[in-house]
Amino acid sequence: MPSKKIVYECKYCRKEFTDYDECEEHEHTHICAYDEVDNVRIAKELRLLGEIASGYHIGGMVMGMPLKNYENLMEEAANRLGKRE
């Protein structure tokens, strides 16, 4: 008779775990509280979002706006945030 093996998978990186609690604890390591991060890192993350947006567009739109607008918005937000530091 075949045996069943239960495997839990991280919804962010797809790493597999045999224990649900361990998987859930691991998933929390992917979450960032940006209120604890400096402006340099936030600006870097915004630029990254703009750079990778083309891979996430649907019909040339990202989050309801044209792809180029989204890219420009992320760059401008990062630049303005960078001026605060």
Phi-psi category of 60—alpha, beta or left, where left has phi over 0 and alpha has psi -120 to 50? left
* Residues of the chain above pLDDT 90, percent: 88
Per-residue tokens: 72: 């420009």
So where are the chain's domains?
1-31, 34-84
Confidence check: pLDDT of 29 > 60: yes
Interatomic CA distance for residues 29 and 12, integer angstroms = 10
Tokens 């859930």 belong to 24
Pairing of strands 61-62, 16-17: unpaired
| Tens of pLDDT, residues 35-51 | 989 999 999 999 999 99
**How confident is the model at residue 31, as a pLDDT?**
95
Average of pLDDT values for 61-73? 96
Confidence check: pLDDT of 77 > 90: yes
Comparing C-alpha atoms, which of 80, 73, 81, 34 is closest to residue 50?
A: 73
| Tens of pLDDT, residues 3-20 | 788 999 999 999 999 999
